Chain A
């Protein structure tokens, strides 16, 4: 009861948050910038983090074996050198990599961290990544102790990760936050409070989290022990505002309080143009699509009904006229444009996706066939499940109208908030769903295995032995040419079988302060990265980091 009373006591004492001096968007004198965050980071531990905001912060304060340069090319992070073979990956760590208390970063810190990700007591959602290593699956299932994970520190500066199957994209995958190091002695000394507050954290990245007022503000300062500190131009990054309201974040930018305003909506875009702001676009690599429910008894399990919908749905019209924000691109396949092929071009250029031949007549023919096969006079009203995002509702209303007009199909909207929508999706309580899929790693497989019969994210329960067999094959080989041929075949199956109807690849328009440059954006991991951001000098040249 005492702690409960202390809450009331706190009222009387009015535990007001520390007074923060208002920081300008760009401060050339102190070499700092200010940004706004959309949400409070949920868990700033690399062991458990899953949310976008945590990833953003963690990408500044921690560094993995491999990292990315300003142009998103893979470069060595803590690892100086590495070697990947079919059964193992070896990393040689640089000797000057240090934690923010001056201690060196060793291979043991990686081994410990990865064991903790697999440890069932930590219940990490990304634990499945550790199944790459021997005993990973058994540790997650609680059948073996975490110490048996097939990752070993040969010495302080050599790490060997044994692989269960050949993994072509492992080097890329290892940039992910779950593969960052955690130092055991520090972790244990926090007694369960690891990463709960700024004082309970240890950094090995370019920045240190020096202030964290929950729900209100954060401040990151340059890490003096970071091995590559000379390449980091900024001295500090402030995040004095946390709000989900996009208008508020835009207003803060317009008031010169933050250096970047992300995800502008049409109204904000117009205001930014009126004020002659610098606008940039970014495609975040997420593909949005219309998903179907394949469970027995659902009319959407009928191929001709899906074909009818495919014949009349115009992804370009929806992208250009309904969404109306540049950066979004009409999608015709599950594989977004940024995925690379094996001939130097993109996967899409190498294997161009087929576009549906839009025709209302053909759509009606398919519909007639569907009705016959289902033995019904009229297709019963179809339910489309959607999230509570205003943009999604707009798209669903458009879809509803297109279906009614061209096919006479009645579509009912089922708008649900986050958890309820997921609960309904998992339970299969829908016919159609407005869904999206963002990549976890930089390989087509992050999309391709989505509709395998064993994938828990295949919530519509699509099942196709050929599809499963293809993915099983691709999972076991590293020959990039053959893998891409498989992905091209998957692309065809998705089109012919109308597994889903791709709608658009998501993009954003964002406003960036004209005085800064070098903001890094990427499809995976913590998008919006200021590690290489610099303040442009008065004369327009690049500011020199001191």
Chain B
């Protein structure tokens, strides 16, 4: 049997540019690929623009809305959003109208008798409501009440405003007057006990502003004098998001508060997540004794009493009076928060380290830095981003919690957390003071969450093959 023995001529070199082996599309680097996929995610893009918008709001806002966040407007305390209300200009230092004391009739003391002729003196406005009434025989005092709703009986007369001597038959109410309807009631007090009989007067209070205050705030024309201006109606500054408990503009405070909250909310997590990543990565990757020692140290830091060390750090880093305390808070947050991330990353790395592709890469001679950068880091990214996007609201809340127990940023520096905290006290009566800062926190958190989601999807190496 003769078999054919091939010779060199039987072989022919193939054309080097074969169809099948050509790379059809442009080669993309990892980050190019991330960006490409992020761009195609509409939700992530929307949240990215919200984040950019928030940064603009924080950095550019105060340049456009030039209202001093510290300017107090005691005429408009806790006002809901409005675009400029009108106010009556009233003179400064108006003496309270005096009431001539008519002789008290010597009629028998009738305890069931209600005071007569409870009346207003002058226009009731937010700079003062003047009341007067006819004297009651035999009283040892009068008790004046103010209600926001029509009283139902003698046990329901509202706020006890003042107890007045029998010779005082007029009263000037200056206490936190709002532009609304009030019901004033007067009750006679006999032998230290209030009578059941009462007289009620409904009063509608008008917005007013003192001449000097209007002048100081530049709300009057240049040549206005008390004589010409008093009695006229002027327009007050507009507060598109209302005012807070000291009449400060909420919009301006939210803009300045964003600086505090976003600074702490973004910087602190970013720093401690990076520290946690490096620490946890190193521990998980190296394993063995080093891992054990490093994790014990992390356990130690985690178990430190946060609050106590927060105070300690604040003092150690020399929080001087008048400083807002943002720096020390940031530092304390970073120093105390990284171990959680470190533990998370280590857990992931421990798992990834055992994956077949790592073993394969190692067998092919991959160096440690290559393994970490190319395989481990991208695979950790998913969990890491989730923890980062959650660390942001946590940091914002930690700041808020610290304000809640009286250890937050020092007033008057605003922050969303401390504004929320102030707002919760007036949640029922002035909901806007809680709603707006809470809304800003929510939107920020939402944006970072969705962005984190998008980034996770885009950066996940395992998803790189798909779209």
Contacts and interface: CB of A to CB of B under 8 A. Distances in A.
In the complex, A touching B, CB below 8 Å? yes
Interface of A: 71, 247, 265-271, 273-274, 276-281, 316-317, 320-322, 324, 326-327, 381, 383-385, 387-390, 393-394, 396-398, 400-401, 405, 410, 412-415, 417, 420, 430, 509, 514
B159 to A, nearest CB: 5
Contacts of A279: 158-160
B429 interface: yes
A308 to B, nearest CB: 19
11 contacts: A71-B192, A267-B428, A320-B175, A324-B176, A388-B406, A393-B411, A397-B72, A398-B72, A412-B321, A417-B406, A420-B311
A321 B159 contact: no
A278 B156 CA distance: 5
Contacts of B149: 273-274, 276
B181 to A, nearest CB: 12
B79 to A, nearest CB: 14
Interface stretch (B21-29, B231-239, B287-295, B419-427): B419-427
Contact of A273 (B159, B245, B311): B159
A503 B311 CA distance: 30
Contacts of B425: 247, 265, 267, 390
A334 B162 CA distance: 21
A401 to B, nearest CB: 5
A494 to B, nearest CB: 25
B128 to A, nearest CB: 10
A269 B410 CA distance: 28
A271 B429 contact: yes
B75 to A, nearest CB: 9
A400 B246 CA distance: 12
Contacts of A400: 412
A279 B143 CA distance: 13
Nearest to B421: A390
A390 B422 CA distance: 8
Interface in B140-184: 146-149, 152, 155-156, 158-162, 174-176
Given A267-B426, A316-B174, A326 B322 contact: no
Contacts of B77: 321, 324
Given A383-B322, A415-B406, A320 B428 contact: no
B149 to A, nearest CB: 6
B246 A276 contact: no
A215 B411 CA distance: 32
A425 B403 CA distance: 22
A125 B246 CA distance: 39
A270 B174 contact: no
Interface of B: 70-72, 74, 77, 146-149, 152, 155-156, 158-162, 174-176, 192, 216, 245-246, 311, 315, 321-323, 405-407, 410-412, 422, 425-430
Nearest to A404: B70
Given A270-B148, A321-B77, A397-B412, A412 B322 contact: yes
A366 to B, nearest CB: 20
Nearest to B247: A321
Contacts of B322: 381, 383, 410, 412-414
A401 B70 contact: yes
Given A273-B158, A317-B74, A414-B410, A398 B148 contact: no
A270 B156 contact: no
Q: Which 6 A-B pairs have the closest CB atoms?
A: A388-B406, A412-B322, A324-B176, A414-B321, A383-B321, A320-B174
B151 to A, nearest CB: 8
B405 A388 contact: yes
B429 A270 contact: yes
A396 B245 CA distance: 13
Contacts of A270: 148, 428-429
Nearest to A324: B176
A267 B147 CA distance: 14
A400 B315 CA distance: 24
A247 B424 CA distance: 10
A279 B161 CA distance: 10
A106 B330 CA distance: 62
A280 B406 contact: no
B147 A397 contact: no
B407 A417 contact: yes
A316 to B, nearest CB: 7
B156 A413 contact: no
Contacts of A277: 156
A397 B246 contact: yes
Residue among B146, B158, B162, B427 with most chain A CB within 10 A: B158
Contacts of B174: 316, 320-321
A536 B245 CA distance: 39
Contacts of B70: 401
Nearest to A387: B406
B410 to A, nearest CB: 5
Nearest to A349: B165
Contacts of A327: 160
A273 B147 contact: yes
A415 B411 contact: yes
A279 B154 CA distance: 11
A388 B409 CA distance: 11
Given A267-B428, A273-B148, A396 B158 contact: no
